[in-house]
Structure 1
Amino acid sequence: MGLLYGPLHLSSSFFRRNDLLIDNRTGSALGTPLAWPEAKERAGQQLLAIWKKARGKERDALLWGDEVEYLVVAVDDKEEKVRLSLCQAEILKALAQDAELSKRAAVNGDASEYDLPDNVKSILIKEPLPTFHPEFGRFMLEATPGKPWGIGFKELLKVESNMKWRYGSPSRLCCYCEVESNITRRVTAKNHMAANEYPITLTTFPRLGCSDDFTLPSYPLSGPALRSQFVPDEIANPHIRFPTLAANIRSRRGRKVELNVPVFRDTNTPWPFKDPTVNYDLHKWPEDDDVRNGAAKEGNVYMDAMAFGMGSCCLQITFQCKNITEGRKLYDQLSPLGPIMLALTGATPIYKGFLVDTDVRWNQIGNAVDCRTREELGEVPLKNDRWRIPKSRYASNSTYISQDPHLRPEYMDPDLVIDEDIKKKLMDGGMDELLATHFAHLFIRDPIVIFNEDLQELDLTKTDHFENLQSTNWQHIRFKPPPADNDIGWRVEFRPMEIQITDFENAAFSIFMVLITRAILSFDLNFYIPIPRTTENMETAHARNAVLDEKFYFRKDPFPHRYPRSQRHQQSRPSSPPGGSTPSPPPSTTPSSPLLQPIESEYTLMSVNDIINGSPDGFPGLIPLVESYLDSLNVDVETRCALAKYLDLIRRRADGSLWTNAKWIREFVAKHPDYKQDSVVSAKISYDLVKAVEEITEKEGKDGSIGWEMFTAKKH
């Protein structure tokens, strides 16, 4: 997820890293799977070659891109039922044709091939169409802007309109550009769907894995790739990498993946709860013994396939940095923010037709791709494997990598597992110990899928072998070396946030993350806490209503203290300040050069509201820090007011005056006339929920319309 493939292209499917094997537009199969014993050796050689070539790379302009993932649903109003539409390939094929037309229009300066008004044709000539990509689920689409965003404030104000939905056909493109230079993504996708199909931005489909026909078309369960009781193989992208990945995870693990999510206990929920959908009498595959051996835990909703994790949608942001130093700093400083933003964007209170007692998706994706053996999990003594590994390959970060004087050894993970051989080879090749340790940690994982074509040669000018390992280590922040042979710089990908129902919300969280990165670099902010505390925070973020009810470890004082103010100001210059001015850091009331104290004194438990808006104990708050950054740049009043509406959403979600998506969905289910206070989200409830989400996407709670609680504190 989140690879830049060219100067104007952001992409995020974790399989689209090798142009020789994969058609990025359609996801069609181009390879034959096979084992790869030389994986790490070749990947290490390529990594070292990339690092040597790109370590001095400098980019003048910071670019960034958002990645929005959609579920495609088919709504049957006659039956009052909603299903997942397994139409990804057809939609992508049509979108690819549009993209080709748009490219020709831009090159030739002529959009006559489109049957569109002249003013819309002029837009197509100037601006590329949004880019669409396949994802794991055949019911999913991922969309990115046609070219990366810059950090100018006018660019930030185009993000929402680029995402925006306008109901209608492509012949009405002229209606969906509030900001004329942007072609919107939802309507572009919708145009290539059936009249009853819609792209929606829910994290999970409420009845994925239920016993009724939840896909269109419907297929039998328990296929050879997933071997799932609950979902058919056909739910996955047909590209051979996807089912191969799922099968290899199961094979390496020695059993199916296990997802157990605590059920929400309502007044009529049967207790003790035993998932009534589990079939203990199925004997089709050897893995069917899993449930008879205790895989389905009491009190939990049980799921058994990769689709329940990788079939989730999220919002990701990729930043291209000025150089490797800036990238390493952002990687470190964004890490403690991950759990906070995960809780703040909570949107996943339903799994497999049940209300659950968690609000976010993160751990379930980790469980869905967890390939660790029993030895690596510590369930049995080590015999055949090299290490006990504390986390799934989809998990929170375990390293810091910045050569920053603020970084203390005590912040590091004391239980970090690394491949010492890889670390030595990287350091012998000239890489510093911090970065070598980071990559040596990633290299403890085996590659899960590789193809015969990959083994034909080792080309040190390419990155395919390295990406096979890098791109299947799904950390909540990803540090990304430049790809081969183009102008792209060092990148950092921020991955934890949940997708939101509306484009306004997704734009708000995207813009906020861009602005906080600017504040971090401009003011030399220090958010370091020990890595184990961030790991704990990621667990805390899963709790129901964690955004209001839980507290998170966070640094008390984010301001730098190791240098006199004059030096600190010089070291805090932003890489690419809009308008060319240099901000001054907000005043700090603490001494400028304190003696180092025990690290436990540097952080404390805070609420999300304290972290976002500021605490009585003196933490300034992330939004006030962003506002200080904006104050220093003389932003014009109109732009400042436009940005304020996005920041206000973040501020009010944090203080509880606006609901999260998760809270709104819970309340919708609880108040539905079909709900029996038994935790069950029926087909009728799911249908009405999706219909409501469609309306919210269009109206955004305006004038007291449905969902207003997520956007305004008072119903008008």
Structure 2
Amino acid sequence: MGLLSEGTPLSWEESKRVADHVRKHGIIQFINQYNKLKDRSKDCLLWGDEVIEYMLVNLNDKTKKAALVLNAQPILEKLMEDEYKHPEEHQTTWRPEYASYMVEGTPGKPYGPRMSHFNVVEANMRRRREEVMKLLSYDPNNFAMTLSVFPRIGCANFTIPQHLPDPINGVSRSLFFPDEAIFGGHPRFRTLSRNVRERRKERPAINVPIFNDKKTKSPFIEDFTALYNSLNLKSTGASAKPDHIYMDCMGFGMGCCCLQVTFQACNICEARLLYDQLTPLCPIMLALSASSAIFRGYLSDIDCRWPVISASVDDRTREERGLEPLKNERFVIQKSRYDSIDSYLSYCSDEYNDINMVYDKDIFNTLTNNGIDRLLAKHIAHLFIRDPISVFKEKLDLDDEVDTDHFENIQSTNWQTMRFKPPPPNTDIGWRVEFRPMEVQLTDFENAAYVVFIVLLTRVILTYKLNFVIPISKACFRFFVDENMKKAQKRDACRQEKFYFRKDIVTSESLCCCPASKRSPQDRGEAQSIDDEYDLFTIQEIISGKEGVFPGLMSLIERYLQSVDDCDVDTSCTISQYLDLIKKRASGNLLTLASWTREFVESHPDYQHDSIVPDSTAYDLLKTCSDITFGHVTDSRLLNDKYGSKSNENIPPAMTKVDAVHANMASKQQGSPMSTDCCSV
């Protein structure tokens, strides 16, 4: 969820008065950290799944109702005991998340560069789920489930204990989402909910297209008149669109779960390269992991949570959204705080930065005058067009030489598909990038497969000097007519859509992020136009290849695996199973969870084909999901029943000895096992 500072939260009006102070000192803090650490190198590859949130779900066999258990705080306190007792040696790490029905679990320590670490991921995920399940065992109907979205969020009585929303005095002022469903153990979450709404000057307006089934009303219009009248509220009806599912607060987005992966690079240059090269993969992996088909009890016409969470934290005013002339605001801003990135960071990618990105020119000048290069300065100045929306009284006056709270305040509330992360002060953590688009899956096997796949891709990118970069408008820009992120959210995008992707991904030289590496049109050889460098591909073609046109990511990964000499038999077997899952999902031989969910609902006897998912259908759906998660049943449409990795939390002793030797060698060498020939910036 980002920075979790402690203290007394400021209201939006109080935060607004100190916004310039936070921005000014945030930039000073970044400059200080950059100048201290810009030449840092020798960091080895470290990585880990950063955010797996577990939903606490109750499946009542007697009433046939599914609900979310608002018990995260006491469970979290128990989960964190081991970390407090053994701060240097604990296998799992737990943190609060937005909702009081979810807990966030990560590995106790990051994974390293050895191949054997790939065989630990699933076992650690399994341990995390078991730890939560143990604390939920007071009720045999409770389950720790990894769901991108709970299908009944916002429906009547979707929580245990039951609470009513308070649209008059509540933090969210939601018609559907009670404040009690927001985690109360840390002030950040309710402060964000309140300040997003107050800064926007109205509730967030989330409108998801309804799935138009045989008996769906046309037009589909929700009538909230009776609800508003019962609360003595005036409704204009302007926020809810026809043929859309309406939601109205941060909880509908931040109450979703996801799967993210963070990588530590050997230096800042490698981090910037990975940031760029992974960006075109964001929409591909979003579609490939799609798992969200039902919102507020309705079957939607999208497969991903992304547009929901984007709209849920959209704090832009009407002026900033371009609906009214600028009078009180500084910028017209094209996107929510939660969206795709707007620029590449490496100079070899600069010519593909083809959109007019809004940025604070004064901040940009401050950065460049203090030695920050143009692309990185523009990136930071773009993030800092936002206001801080969660400020703590005790954290206003800081030592900018040693603290970075003001920088992280704004950095951590720009929730984009990729995140470039400077080293925290006074730690041995290096320059990192965070891959953020993926949806979480039902089973530990699936989640491990997606994590391992994307980590292997980073190794392949750096080993073979691959270049995936395409114009940013095609890769990310949310308002471009045919852009990839918009396509990735569509129903059955994994099988039905085509995505812009680079045709020739093999380069003849090392990619570099320094200004001297900027390419000219002549550097492209015969292909004088950037438009000749990419084409439309299905996800199957991107993953498995298109004969004579594109080799496929999987063939490059397999080639890489054949070249490594430190992969034990169990790890090799596990990776093979993971890659098979990815290939079959890409081909459509195995369904995404979103597509499987649709088939389940449409075949359920209680579903009337009117887009309304009855409570009984939702219960049976989640009961089946739970049974699949815990291995009680299999469904060959979703998962091959022969899948079974050899994941183990213990790295083979021989590999442990090799790790020690490599660690000693790394301390004497320049760069990491994944370093490139790039210069430092």
Give structure 1 stretches of 5+ with no counterpart: 1-12, 22-28, 107-126, 165-183, 573-590
Choose which of 358, 367, 374 in structure 1 pairs with 2:311. Answer: 367
Paired AA for residue 103 in structure 2: L
Match of 2:176 in 1: 230
Cα 1:593–1:464, aligned 2, differ >3 Å: closer, same or farther?
closer
Match of 1:219 in 2: 163
C-alpha separation in 2, matches of 1:468 and 1:305: 21
1:222-261 per-position Cα deviation (integer Å, ceiling 9, x unaligned): 2421000011111111122211111111111111001000
1:680-706 per-position Cα deviation (integer Å, ceiling 9, x unaligned): 111111111121111101228xxxx44
Match of 1:134 in 2: 96
1:189-243 per-position Cα deviation (integer Å, ceiling 9, x unaligned): 1111232321101111111101x21101111212421000011111111122211
How far is 1:161 from its partner? 1.1
Cα 1:100–1:525, aligned 2, differ >3 Å: closer, same or farther?
same
Paired AA for residue 609 in structure 1: Q
Task: Say which is worse superposed, 528-537 or 628-637, in terms of deviation.
Answer: 628-637
1:284-314 per-position Cα deviation (integer Å, ceiling 9, x unaligned): 58xx55x514100000000001000000000
Trace 1:660-679 onto structure 2 (pairs within 5 A).
660-679=592-611
Paired AA for residue 709 in structure 1: R
Match of 1:686 in 2: 618
C-alpha separation in 2, matches of 1:517 and 1:312: 27
Match of 2:444 in 1: 503
How far is 1:277 from its partner? 6.1
Report % sequence identity.
45
C-alpha separation in 1, matches of 2:218 and 2:457: 45
C-alpha separation in 2, matches of 1:98 and 1:540: 43
Please state whether the residue corresponding to 2:58 is helix, strand or coil.
strand
Match of 1:112 in 2: none
Paired AA for residue 547 in structure 1: C
How far is 1:280 from its partner? 5.8
Match of 2:109 in 1: 147
Query: Any conservation in 2 of the 1:229–1:279 contact (CA below 8 Å)?
Result: no
Please state whether the residue corresponding to 2:536 is helix, strand or coil.
strand
Match of 1:199 in 2: 144
Paired AA for residue 209 in structure 2: P
1:402-452 per-position Cα deviation (integer Å, ceiling 9, x unaligned): 133xx242x114220010000100010001111001101101111112111
Query: Any conservation in 2 of the 1:102–1:129 contact (CA below 8 Å)?
Result: no
Trace 1:22-101 onto structure 2 (pairs within 5 A).
31=9, 33=11, 34-35=14-15, 36-37=18-19, 38-66=21-49, 67-101=51-85
Paired AA for residue 22 in structure 2: A
Paired AA for residue 34 in structure 2: W
Cα 1:303–1:636, aligned 2, differ >3 Å: closer, same or farther?
same
Match of 1:612 in 2: 543
Query: Any conservation in 1 of the 2:495–2:587 contact (CA below 8 Å)?
Result: yes
Aligned residues: CA RMSD = 2.1
Trace 1:343-422 onto structure 2 (pairs within 5 A).
343-404=287-348, 407-409=349-351, 411-422=352-363
How far is 1:276 from its partner? 5.0
TM-score by length of structure 1 reads 0.83
Paired AA for residue 559 in structure 2: S
Query: Any conservation in 2 of the 1:32–1:453 contact (CA below 8 Å)?
Result: no
Please state whether the residue corresponding to 2:284 is helix, strand or coil.
helix
How far is 1:649 from its partner? 0.4
Query: Any conservation in 2 of the 1:64–1:150 contact (CA below 8 Å)?
Result: yes
Paired AA for residue 435 in structure 1: L
Task: Say which is worse superposed, 413-422 or 691-700, in terms of deviation.
Answer: 691-700
Paired AA for residue 513 in structure 1: I
C-alpha separation in 1, matches of 2:63 and 2:250: 29
Match of 1:625 in 2: 556
Cα 1:229–1:592, aligned 2, differ >3 Å: closer, same or farther?
closer
Match of 1:188 in 2: 131
Cα 1:60–1:281, aligned 2, differ >3 Å: closer, same or farther?
closer
C-alpha separation in 1, matches of 2:225 and 2:144: 30
C-alpha separation in 2, matches of 1:278 and 1:641: 59
C-alpha separation in 1, matches of 2:523 and 2:334: 38
1:261-287 per-position Cα deviation (integer Å, ceiling 9, x unaligned): 0011111111110125675634758xx
Paired AA for residue 43 in structure 1: G
Match of 1:453 in 2: 394
Q: How many residues align?
A: 616
Q: Relative contact order: is structure 1 or structure 2 higher (C-alpha 8 Å, sep ≥ 6)?
A: 2
1:147-167 per-position Cα deviation (integer Å, ceiling 9, x unaligned): 111131111011111112xxx
C-alpha separation in 2, matches of 1:595 and 1:292: 58
Cα 1:691–1:276, aligned 2, differ >3 Å: closer, same or farther?
farther
C-alpha separation in 1, matches of 2:86 and 2:129: 17
Cα 1:278–1:235, aligned 2, differ >3 Å: closer, same or farther?
farther
Match of 2:262 in 1: 318
1:27-65 per-position Cα deviation (integer Å, ceiling 9, x unaligned): xx7555542231110111001011111111124321001
Cα 1:425–1:656, aligned 2, differ >3 Å: closer, same or farther?
same
TM-score by length of structure 2 reads 0.87
C-alpha separation in 1, matches of 2:621 and 2:47: 33
Query: Any conservation in 1 of the 2:543–2:586 contact (CA below 8 Å)?
Result: yes
How far is 1:643 from its partner? 1.0
Query: Any conservation in 1 of the 2:9–2:391 contact (CA below 8 Å)?
Result: no
